Amino acid sequence: MPDGKIIKALSGFYYVLNHDHEIIQCRGRGVFRKNKVNPLVGDQVVYQAENPTDGYILEVKERKNELIRPPIANVDQAILVFSAVEPDFSTVLLDRFLVLIESNHIEPVICISKIDLVPDAKKAEIDAYAKDYEKIGYKVILTSTIDRKGVQVLLPLLEDKISVFAGQSGVGKSSLLNVLRPELGLKTDNISSHLGRGKHTTRHVELIEVGTGLVADTPGFSSLEFTELEVEDLNYCFPEIEEYSKDCKFRGCTHTSEPKCVVKQEVETGEIKQYRYDHYVQFIEEIKDRKPRY
């Protein structure tokens, strides 16, 4: 039986891209509903089809990861698009996204957009933030869709991968995709008819081919709350905190009030940036204050 990847799910139909770059419209077999398996965009599936518009998905292969909102599976990396200005660069929002991505074992790439709009007085600040995150180990790309700065660096990163473009509204995700693949003609202000973005539209995730990779331009994470994360897990979502935590005196140190905490010492020396530590503590409090689920 042939196999392929689901690139769109809409109104009970699954659109499967096969190895011949044909799109086969499929339905799910009843066995999926019985076994409570919900095929997702990004799933590798086995199907049968007499023709391109009348196929059936027979099997959903094992996933390496799965996001609930947006609903997508087998994501290789997340391109986190954050504008330098308009709206202003936000480290706390970026760190929130990074925690959500890290907790799902997805490789993050930080893309700081609209670099051409940064006033001279603010350039040093943006460069300093970029260096901070690079020192932690993240890949950081500074981009401009006007002079195309950084776009040539981004394109090779998408090859042969499923990438999710994510970030708050207005940061230039669609503008970036238009530069990467101009024939898409995505609207950057109102509604994108291709991807279902915009107000009062049915928002769905769709993978589009960019070079040899597949990219999902999502309307964003509908929830940025840490609903699935526990306090002891947060440590692993801050790579620099995890690195130094191994030397803490107490096993299971939360790096908040414990004595002889190496992480807090490294914050004092500046090895761990104060704003990153502040966000870590803020997120711990959020998780502790979370209402219990029953």
- Decide which of 160, 193, 217 is a domain's last residue: 217
Average pLDDT, the chain: 87
- Decide which of 62, 90, 111 is a domain's last residue: 62
Q: Residue 27 falls within a domain, yes or no? A: yes
Pair 113, 194 in one domain: yes
Pair 40, 119 in one domain: no
Q: Residue 208 falls within a domain, yes or no? A: yes
pLDDT of residue 184: 72
| CATH code at position 108 | 3.40.50.300
Kindly report the pTM of this predicted structure: 0.87
| pLDDT, tens only, 163-189 | 998 887 778 787 888 888 877 766 555
Total count of domains within the chain: 3
Per-residue confidence band for 201, with pLDDT thresholds at 50, 70 and 90 = very low
Pair 53, 79 in one domain: no
| pLDDT, tens only, 61-112 | 999 998 877 789 999 999 999 999 999 999 999 999 999 999 989 999 999 9
| CATH code at position 278 | 1.10.40.50
Span of 21-35, 166-180, 194-208 with lowest mean pLDDT: 194-208
Pair 39, 168 in one domain: no
Pair 76, 213 in one domain: yes
Q: Residue 42 falls within a domain, yes or no? A: yes
Q: Residue 205 falls within a domain, yes or no? A: yes
Q: Report the C-alpha gap between 274 and 281 in whole angstroms.
A: 11
Annotate 193-216 with b (16+ C-beta within 10 A) or e (fewer): eebbbeeeeeebbbbbebeebbbb
Q: Residue 67 falls within a domain, yes or no? A: no
- Decide which of 40, 62, 84 is a domain's last residue: 62
Q: Which domain holds residue 174?
A: 72-217
Pair 84, 203 in one domain: yes
pLDDT of residue 230: 92
Q: Residue 224 falls within a domain, yes or no? A: no
- Vertex 46: Cα angle to 41 and 48 (nearest 5): 110
Pair 167, 271 in one domain: no
Q: Is the peptide bond before 119 cis (omega within 30 degrees of 0)?
A: no
Pair 169, 264 in one domain: no
Phi, psi of 226 (to 5 degrees): -90, 65
Pair 155, 76 in one domain: yes
Question: What's the one-letter identity of residue 159?
Answer: E
